[in-house]
Structure 1
Amino acid sequence: MSGKGAPELSVQNVGDLKVAVVAAQWHEKVMDGLVDGALRALRDLGIEEAAPLRVPGSWELPVAARALAGRGYDAVVALGVVIRGGTPHFDYVCQGVTQGLTQVAVETGVPVGFGVLTCDTEEQALDRAGLDGSHEDKGHEAVTAAVATVAALRSVSGTRR
C-alpha cells in the first residue's frame, strides 16, 4: 500500500485559516471522493469550507493554484487524477503538474497540498479516493498536510502564515 509509513498529523487551533481547494473534473467518481475527503478534512479542522474551484483537468491545477495563492489564502489544496494510458502523455502531465504546483508553493510561500493521484489504473485511483471501500483518503490527507505546514511555519515565524 502506498500510504505505508505516512505520519500521523495532529493539527489544532487552525480554525482561523483560509484554505482554498482547486479540483480537476476528469474522472468524476475519483474526483468526487477526493473533494469529499478534502471538505471533510476542513470540517474536522474547524476551517470554514469554501466551494472548490473546478478546472477542466489536472494540467490546469497549477495556474489556478497560483491565482488562489495570490488572493490571501493561507494554503491551497490541489486535487486531481492522472491515469496512465498507452502514450507518454501521462509522464508529461504528471511532471508538469508536479513542477507547476511546486513552483507555486516555493514562489508564493503558500503551502500547496498535493492531492494529485498519479496511478497506473483506475482501480488504484479509486483505492486512494476516500470512497467506501478505499484504503486511502488522499483528499483528506492533502488538506491535513497543507494545514500542518501552515501551522509549522507559524510556529517558527510567529506570523499568520
Structure 2
Amino acid sequence: MSGEGSPQVEADGSGLSVAIVAARWHEELMDGLVAGAQKALGEAGTDEPVLVRVPGSFELPVAAATLADRFDVIVALGVVIRGGTPHFEYVCDAVTSGLTRVSVDCRTPIGFGVLTCDNFVQARDRAGLSGGHESKGYEAAMAAVSTAVALRDVGRA
C-alpha cells in the first residue's frame, strides 16, 4: 500500500514565504492537491502562499526555478497518468530531475507533490479527494516546510 510507513511530519513554519506551483491538467485532481497543500501550510502557520498555475507538469521546474530566489519554500503539484506511449516516462523523468536540480542548485526546499500514476483511479486515491486514502498535496507541503524549518534551525547553531 502506498503511504505505508510514512512519517508524521509537523513543523512551525511561521514566517516562511511559500509558493505553490500547480499544473492545470486533470483539474479535479489538481483541485484536491492544491487544497491539501493549502491545508498543510495553514496548519504549519506559514504566510499566505502564492499560487502559480502552469499548463502541465513539464512546466513545473521552470516555474520553480523562477520563484526559488523569492520564496523560502516551493510546493510543486502535478499529475502525470501513464498512457500508451513513452511520453509518461519522459515527462516524469524531466519533472523529477528538473525539480531536484532547482531544489539543490537554489537551496530551496521543494515539496514534490507530482502524482505519477498508472491510471486515474490511482491518482484520485492520492489527490486528497473525498473517498481517497492519501493527500499528496498535504504531504508535499508539510515535507517542504519541515525541511525549511530544519535547515533554518541548523543555520542558527
TM-score, normalised via structure 2 length: 0.97
Counterpart position of 1:52 = 51
Secondary structure at 2:108 match in 1: coil
Q: Give CA-to-partner distance per residue, 1:47-89, whole Å, 9 cap, x none.
A: 2223410000000000000011022x11101000000000000
Secondary structure at 2:125 match in 1: helix
For residues 34 and 138 of structure 2, what CA distance do their matches in structure 1 show? 8
Counterpart position of 1:6 = 6
- Report whether the alignment pairs 1:78 with 2:76: yes
Moved more, 24-33 or 39-48: 39-48
Pairwise CA distance, 1:42: 1.1
Alpha-carbon RMSD:
1.0
Letter in 1 for 2:150: A
Pairwise CA distance, 1:91: 0.1
Identity of aligned residues (%): 61
Secondary structure at 2:112 match in 1: strand
Letter in 2 for 1:147: V
Secondary structure at 2:131 match in 1: coil
Q: Give CA-to-partner distance per residue, 1:1-58, whole Å, 9 cap, x none.
A: 210111111212x211001100000001100000010111111111222341000000
Alignment equivalent of 1:123, drawn from 121, 132, 157: 121
Secondary structure at 1:76 match in 2: strand
- Report whether the alignment pairs 1:88 with 2:86: yes
Counterpart position of 1:110 = 108
Secondary structure at 2:8 match in 1: coil
Letter in 2 for 1:136: E
Secondary structure at 1:136 match in 2: coil
For residues 50 and 99 of structure 1, what CA distance do their matches in structure 2 show? 24
Question: How many residue pairs end up in the alignment?
Answer: 157
Counterpart position of 2:133 = 135
Counterpart position of 1:26 = 25
Letter in 2 for 1:37: G
Does the aligned pair in 1 maintain the 2:22–2:60 contact within 8 Å? yes
TM-score, normalised via structure 1 length: 0.95
For residues 61 and 46 of structure 2, what CA distance do their matches in structure 1 show? 23
Does the aligned pair in 1 maintain the 2:61–2:102 contact within 8 Å? yes
Letter in 2 for 1:59: F
Moved more, 15-24 or 47-56: 47-56
For residues 51 and 134 of structure 1, what CA distance do their matches in structure 2 show? 26
